[in-house]
Amino acid sequence: MNIIAIIRQTSADSQPKQDLAAVEAALRYKRQSGGFVTALCLGTEAAVPLLREAVAMGCDSAALIRLPFCFTSIPEPTRYARLLAGTIQDMEFDLIFTSCYAVDADTIQTGFLLASYLNLPQAGYVGETSVSEDSGVIVKRQFEDRYQMLNLPTPCLISALLQPGKRIYMTADGVTRAYAMEIPVIPACEDLNAGEESFVTLLSSCLKKERKRGTVLTVPTEEAISAVMDIMHKNHII
């Protein structure tokens, strides 16, 4: 299985550590199913150290997709996703992992847009993945009060959440290998091919807890504010 982990560069000279969520999710899935993980980043040469870090964590290869020099800053999510899609559409892949954390205020626009441009089934806010019996991928999507299990056919795209208790770190051997490896640079491309539609199967949806019915306050504004503050204090919200 060929797995791609997308590292999102949010500025021309820095990298957010949260974007390693995609790398960690890809490596956790590799431990279950085997395969070859490639870390990719669309950006500038400032992204090379983080690509080496991804290799040191366990990725098998990495490459920088170089932004066209006409860009003086990292493009907004729509253009960013299109540049990514145009470049990787002809690569061989079964699974793409992106991160839920990005410059777009954690709305994971980049992942959704990339899936749309590549005509891939996709799922966001994914906390766990496992191998499906029918060669697909089972994902567990996290919500505030519930979770949802989906079966995605491959190839597909998954936007992953960080898993605090399951972090993956660099190893000494990995660091040595990463700095001995040449990181190739690929020119970005915006030309897109037409693709076929794919579909996602909902396996189950489970509420974690029932929400209590709220209280309607029919009092003057100042009294309502005071009442809301009291409720928040009692529930240790503030």
pLDDT digits (tens, 9 = 90+) for 30-68: 999 899 999 999 888 888 998 999 999 999 999 999 987
Look up the domain containing 181 and give its range.
2-187
- Please indicate whether residue 217 or residue 214 has the higher confidence score (pLDDT): 217
Q: The domain that contains 69 carries what CATH number?
A: 3.40.50.620
Q: Please state, for a pLDDT cut of 90, what percent of the chain lies above it.
A: 42
Q: Is 6 domain-assigned?
A: yes
Q: Is 94 domain-assigned?
A: yes
- How much is the pTM? 0.78
Q: Is 220 domain-assigned?
A: no
Number of structural domains the chain divides into: 1
| Whether the Cβ atoms of residue 88 and residue 63 lie closer than 8 Å to each other | no
3-state secondary structure of 96: strand
Q: Is 98 domain-assigned?
A: yes
Q: Is 72 domain-assigned?
A: yes
Q: Is 218 domain-assigned?
A: no
Q: Is 195 domain-assigned?
A: no
Residue that has been written with the tokens 């091919």 in this structure: 193
CA 61/CA 56 separation, integer angstroms? 10
Q: Is 231 domain-assigned?
A: no
**How high is the pLDDT of residue 45?**
87
pLDDT in tens, 95-122: 999 988 754 445 568 888 899 999 999 9
